[in-house]
């Protein structure tokens, strides 16, 4: 064999190897180029009527336009969103099933249930956070408290008589109430519901006394006069709620916020992940979407895929500490 023949054979083999290595990239790019070619599902772990539902519908309309397809919101309510998470974790990794995720789903659930039917740390691919807000402390119109301090004083004088609502065990509203009890040395009765809408309806009806929830969920009830907002739970004054005092003014160090996000099944091709991310970010930048979010007391925001993954890790550590502090029983 001549040197020229050897070179030709070697270069031919190199070309085949290069083509083989490029094949997965080509397939991923082809998948992204054709994505989406059918409707996309957005899975909700909550019932209709709460803050997640409101924000999801605002976002889904614009996101569907950006991606050029219809986006269908589906409700799979359960304690902590486990059913919704399991559905997405067992869906094809093709970008056609999105999870509208809350802190309870991504940050609290891993530490509240040891026997989940999915791996909360490995089964989801972060896309981005979409919005954040401080929670607010709201009471029924007939509750005789006009400040956080007055509510705490009443709870101290009536141990076990003050009932607080949440949208489920381990949700931010639950942890916020337990943190309030722990920091003030009061005994509060927790009443969990399947969603913020049901909880707020019972708060209006007097079945429960207070709830720490998002402004988005409570907005309609506040406007009607059925509920009173007493304080906000952020680390600093909320620009969207300038007239509400901070809970930390009454309870030093008290802070709990709410955020909402989009994730997909782990293993979704990176090109599709980036396509969804870009469409979500563009949707959030639309003035009408940002304003609708503000109308609900939520600041629209986004992160890079990697930054959101780091954010989730930090939130998991914070929620793990909150769950231990609140002494919430963990399911085996």
Please, what is the average pLDDT of the chain?
87
Domain that holds residue 313: 39-133+258-326
Position 173 in a domain: yes
Whether residue 209 contacts residue 286, with contact meaning beta carbons closer than 8 Å, is answered with no
Do 167 and 267 share a domain, yes or no? no
Do 87 and 233 share a domain, yes or no? no
Helix (H) or strand (E) holding 274: helix 270-285
Give the pLDDT of residue 230.
95
Do 314 and 166 share a domain, yes or no? no
Position 4 in a domain: no
What Rg do the C-alpha atoms of the chain give, in angstroms?
Answer: 23
pLDDT band at 30 (very low <50, low <70, confident <90, very high): low
Q: Is the pLDDT of residue 247 over 60?
A: yes
Position 182 in a domain: yes
DSSP character for 248? Answer: G
Whether residue 136 contacts residue 291, with contact meaning beta carbons closer than 8 Å, is answered with no
Higher local confidence (pLDDT), 275 or 134: 275
Mean pLDDT value across residues 258-279: 97
CATH number at residue 243: 3.40.190.10
pLDDT band at 14 (very low <50, low <70, confident <90, very high): very low
Claim: this prediction has a pTM higher than 0.85: no
Distance CA(326)–CA(303), nearest Å, equals 30
pLDDT band at 29 (very low <50, low <70, confident <90, very high): low
CATH number at residue 110: 3.40.190.150
Q: What is the pLDDT of residues 109-153, one digit of tens each?
A: 899 888 899 999 999 999 999 999 889 999 999 999 999 999 999
Do 253 and 317 share a domain, yes or no? no
Higher local confidence (pLDDT), 277 or 237: 277
Count of the separate structural domains present in the chain: 2
Structural tokens at position 291: 């304003």
Give the pLDDT of residue 9.
42
pLDDT band at 243 (very low <50, low <70, confident <90, very high): confident
Distance CA(174)–CA(191), nearest Å, equals 9
Do 108 and 146 share a domain, yes or no? no
Last residue of a domain, one of 205, 231, 257: 257
Whether residue 85 contacts residue 99, with contact meaning beta carbons closer than 8 Å, is answered with yes
Last residue of a domain, one of 202, 227, 257: 257
Burial 101-139 (b: 16+ CB within 10 A, else e): bbbbbbbbbbbbbeebebebeebbbbbbbbbbbbbbbbb
- The region of weakest confidence among 49-53, 171-175, 207-211, 325-329 is 325-329
Do 222 and 235 share a domain, yes or no? yes
Last residue of a domain, one of 257, 289, 310: 257
Position 24 in a domain: no
Give the pLDDT of residue 318.
87
Position 27 in a domain: no
Do 109 and 195 share a domain, yes or no? no
pLDDT band at 22 (very low <50, low <70, confident <90, very high): very low
Supply the DSSP string of 59-104, one letter for each residue: HHHHHHHHHTS-EEEEE---GGGHHHHHHHHTS-SSSSEEEEE-HI
How far lies 43's CA from each of 56, 73, 122, 185, 295, in Å? Answer: 10, 6, 18, 38, 23
Give the pLDDT of residue 331.
67
Do 177 and 243 share a domain, yes or no? yes
Q: Smallest Cα–Cα separation from 256: which of 191, 325, 177, 189?
A: 177
Q: Is the pLDDT of residue 15 over 70?
A: no
Structural tokens at position 283: 């949707």
Position 208 in a domain: yes
Mean pLDDT value across residues 34-50: 91
Do 175 and 194 share a domain, yes or no? yes
| Residues in contact with 240: Cβ distance below 8 Å, sequence separation at least 6, in sequence order | 133, 215, 294, 297, 298, 299
Do 249 and 271 share a domain, yes or no? no
Angle at 235 between CA 298 and CA 52, to 5 degrees: 25
Q: Is the pLDDT of residue 158 over 50?
A: yes
Do 63 and 75 share a domain, yes or no? yes
Distance CA(135)–CA(103), nearest Å, equals 13
Do 95 and 161 share a domain, yes or no? no
Q: Is the pLDDT of residue 281 over 80?
A: yes
Position 174 in a domain: yes
Mean pLDDT value across residues 212-239: 86
Q: What is the pLDDT of residues 65-120, one digit of tens each?
A: 999 999 999 999 876 689 999 999 999 999 999 999 998 899 998 998 888 999 99
Distance CA(318)–CA(197), nearest Å, equals 26
Give the pLDDT of residue 240.
77
Whether residue 274 contacts residue 264, with contact meaning beta carbons closer than 8 Å, is answered with no
Position 16 in a domain: no
């Amino acid at each position: 064999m001549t040197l020229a023949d050897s070179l030709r054979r070697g270069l031919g083999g190199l070309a085949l190897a290069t083509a083989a290595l490029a094949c997965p990239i080509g397939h991923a790019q082809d998948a992204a180029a054709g994505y989406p070619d059918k409707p996309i599902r957005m899975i909700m772990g909550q019932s209709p009527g709460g803050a997640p539902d409101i924000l999801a519908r605002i976002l889904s309309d614009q996101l569907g336009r950006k991606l050029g397809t219809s986006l269908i919101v589906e409700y799979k309510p359960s304690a902590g969103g486990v059913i919704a998470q399991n559905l997405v974790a067992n869906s094809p990794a093709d970008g056609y099933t999105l999870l509208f995720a809350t802190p309870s789903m991504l940050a609290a659930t891993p530490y509240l249930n040891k026997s989940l039917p999915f791996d909360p740390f490995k089964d989801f691919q972060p896309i981005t956070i979409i919005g954040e807000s401080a929670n607010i402390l709201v009471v029924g119109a007939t509750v005789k408290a006009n400040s956080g301090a007055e509510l705490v004083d009443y709870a101290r004088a009536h141990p076990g008589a003050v009932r607080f609502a949440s949208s489920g065990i381990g949700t931010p509203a639950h942890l916020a109430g337990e943190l309030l009890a722990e920091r003030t040395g009061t005994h509060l009765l927790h009443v969990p519901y399947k969603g913020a809408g049901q909880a707020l309806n019972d708060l209006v009806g007097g079945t429960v006394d207070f709830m720490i929830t998002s402004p988005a969920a409570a907005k309609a009830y506040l406007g009607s006069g059925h509920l009173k907002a007493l304080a906000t739970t952020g680390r600093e004054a909320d620009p969207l709620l300038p007239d509400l005092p901070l809970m930390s003014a009454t309870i030093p160090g008290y802070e709990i916020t709410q955020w909402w996000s989009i994730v997909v099944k782990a293993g979704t091709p990176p090109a599709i992940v980036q396509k969804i991310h870009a469409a979500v970010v563009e949707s959030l930048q639309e003035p009408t979407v940002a304003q609708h979010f503000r109308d609900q007391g939520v600041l629209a925001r986004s992160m890079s895929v990697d930054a959101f993954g780091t954010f989730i890790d930090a939130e998991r550590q914070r929620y793990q500490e909150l769950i231990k502090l609140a002494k919430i029983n963990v399911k085996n």
